[in-house]
């Protein structure tokens, strides 16, 4: 999920948080090998609605099945927020360079 960057190995790309939430809901019962998240998605949009969806799923005892979540934001504070939030719910998260 990234508003600008090409993600050459991605099967599906969401450019907004709304598209990201829809995409995750569409694949709710599918194993996701890698999920790439950018914090800032243009204008006032951010990845936080997607993070909230992932947190709520884990809180309810039914986390999304994701191999690794890669956070690749150029926003260090936003990226750290995503990493902390998802790590807290036992998602496997890695911070990568934007």
Phi and psi angles of residue 71, each rounded to the nearest 5 degrees, phi first? -105, 115
* Mean predicted confidence (pLDDT) in 30-56: 91
* Domain locations in the chain as residue ranges: 17-95
Rounded to an integer, what distance in angstroms lies between the CA atom of residue 4 and that of residue 64?
A: 25
Q: How far apart are CA 31 and CA 53, in angstroms?
A: 16
Whether the pLDDT of residue 1 is over 70: the answer is no
Report d(CA 80, CA 63) in Å as an integer.
Answer: 20
**Residue range 10-21, pLDDT digits in tens:** 576 788 899 999
| 15-19, 60-64, 82-86: least confident range | 15-19
**Under 8 Å between Cβ of 66 and 23:** no
């Amino acid at each position: 999920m990234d508003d600008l960057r090409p993600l050459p190995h991605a099967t599906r790309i969401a450019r907004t948080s709304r598209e990201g939430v829809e995409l995750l809901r569409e694949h709710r019962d599918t194993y996701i090998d890698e999920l790439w998240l950018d914090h800032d998605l243009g204008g006032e949009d951010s990845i936080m609605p997607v993070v909230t969806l992932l947190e709520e799923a884990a809180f309810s005892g039914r986390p999304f099945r994701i191999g690794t979540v890669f956070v690749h934001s150029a926003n260090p504070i936003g990226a750290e927020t995503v990493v902390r939030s998802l790590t807290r719910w036992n998602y496997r998260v890695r911070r990568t360079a934007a």
